[in-house]
Structure formats: structure tokens, C-alpha cells
Amino acid sequence: MTIDTFDGTSVKPAHWNLGSVIEQLRVSREATHNIRHHGRVRELPSRDALTTIVNGLQAVLFPTHYGRPNLTDESIDFFVGDTLNTTLNRLAEQVRRGLQFSALEAAPDEAALTLQAHDITRRFAASLPEVRALLVSDVQAAFSGDPAATSVAEIMLCYPGTIAILYYRLAHSLHRLGSPFLARLISDIAHSLTGIDIHPAARIGGSFFIDHGTGVVIGETAIIGQRVRLYQHVTLGAKRFPSDEQGALIKGVPRHPIVEDDVVIYAGATVLGRITIGAGSTIGGNVWLTQSVPPGSNVSQAQMRND
């Protein structure tokens, strides 16, 4: 018996004593791997497919920036419709796969999952005009908030914060509609691309701007108001994780900050716990903050003052 390798060569298992290793790996998989349930293999959502889907959605939302070149007034609607139809068909299949891992039943009904996936996809499509309006406000905030920005095209194509927010807006819509696994995968793809980690369950208002962006973390239960600006390496995180009597972490408890309207948080600031940053406040660079501050506050490393 030989085993074919990825580079086209073959090796005999006995040469590496692979027989025992393969057997032990099989036993371990059967004991712990949750891909198999009652003899049925559950298909994982595909990261490559989701990347293609998001690229298609980008082109649908902003065809002149992310779509095909040389689109005309006569052809743009056809391009949007054709691209959206293809993209939604792909999305429905990925939603179906993701729902298999969210279902409460050990062996959920496949027909019911397919119907649910199509319903989520249909409602997601209906949300796209609202998503686009939010993204337009985000781009406008970046253009007005960064003196180095020379054009909207530059912001759309060159700013990692814009890309991360676009992925977040799409992922948040899917999360809200009942596809949390897929939403997490999309947010993780954005994290890999930009170094910005935004949980899709976080609630973020319009005109949101992340400048530079690398290292920004926004936790699951964070709430961010309108016209908020963050700089690189800002963390909106949890201070502690409550557990039950058995020591297991309690999921879904509000544990991340509430950032009200018109707040600016500068580079390296860490804001932890379910605290409130009052409207119009400025949080200075490298501040470690674990208590609420009233509206209009200016917080620096060594002091806090309320103007």
C-alpha cells in the first residue's frame, strides 16, 4: 500500500510507521469531531466561497468602484442584477451549510434548512439598500475626518478601515437575520485582510470611521453611536467574564462598552467592561479606561476633566 502526497510522490506507510498514527487519528476523530452526526457529514461553509460572495456584494453596492470597468448608465443595472442574482444563489448555499451548525436538533431536516436559508438570503437582499446607505455615511465620515484623504475612490480602495466596516455591515446583517456562523466567518476574513477585528453582533451607528485601523478590536456586545471615530490599536473589550455555578462562561451577557455619539478614541486606548463613554467625549492615546465618563469628557493618561 502506498499513499499519494500533494506533490505527486508516493510513500509507503510502513516507512514512517503511519499505520498506527492513522488509526489513532481516526479514533480521535470519531470520539471528538463534531463534523459527523449520526453518520451524516455536515458540510462546512467555504471561506473561499464567502470571499467570492463578499466581492460580489461589494460590486453590487458600489459597481463603479468594485465592479467591472467601463460600466455605462445603460449597462450598470443589468450588471448589478446579474451579479446580485449569482451572488445570492451562492450565499444561500453557504447560509444552509452554516445553519447545520446552529440547529438545535442533532439531525435537522434538510428541506427545512434549505427553506430557512432561502428566507434569510431573501431578507438579506432586502437589507442591502440600508447597508449601502450606512456605508456611504461611513465613507463620507472618513473623507471629512482625514485631512490626508484626497478622494472617495482613495477611501474605498486604500483604507483598511473602510474594507473592515464594509465586511462588518454585511456580516452584521446576516447575524441579525439568523446566520451567526456565516457572519463570524466573514468578520474573520476581514480580520485577516485588515488586522481589524469587529464582532458581527456589535451594534454600530452610521458615519463610523476607523483611521489607520491595525489592531482595532470591537467586542460582541459593544454598542457604538453615530459619528464615532477610532484610531489604530483601540480595544473595546470585556473586563471580566461571568461564569455559572459549574464554572462555565455565561454567553451573551452585555460586557463591552457603550460609546455614545460623536466620541473620538485615539490610538492604543483600551476601554473595558460595560461602561458608557458619554457623547462628545475624547479618549486620549494609550488610556486604560474601566469606568464610565460623562458627556463632553476629555480623558488622558494621567487625568480626566469634564469641559
pLDDT tens for residues 151-169?
Answer: 999 999 999 999 999 999 9
Q: What percent of the chain has pLDDT over 70?
A: 88
| Architecture in CATH of 43-198 | Orthogonal Bundle (1.10)
Residue-level pLDDT at 249: 84
What pLDDT is stored for residue 39 in this prediction?
54
Give CA–CA dist 283/268, Å, rounded.
10
172 vs 105, higher pLDDT: 172
Residue spans in the chain of domains classed CATH 2.160.10.10: 215-307
Q: What does pTM read for this prediction?
A: 0.87
Confidence (pLDDT) at 238: 95
What are the strands, taking DSSP E only, across 203-281? 203-204, 209-210, 217-218, 223-224, 229-230, 235-237, 258-259, 264-265, 270-272, 276-277
pLDDT tens-digit readout, 172-230: 999 999 999 999 999 999 999 999 999 999 999 999 999 999 999 999 999 999 999 99
Nearest to 65 by CA among 143, 155, 191, 193: 155
Residue pLDDT, tens place only, 68-85: 888 998 899 999 999 999
The fold of the 215-307 domain, in CATH, is UDP N-Acetylglucosamine Acyltransferase; domain 1 (2.160.10)
Region(s) of the chain under CATH 1.10.3130.10? 43-198
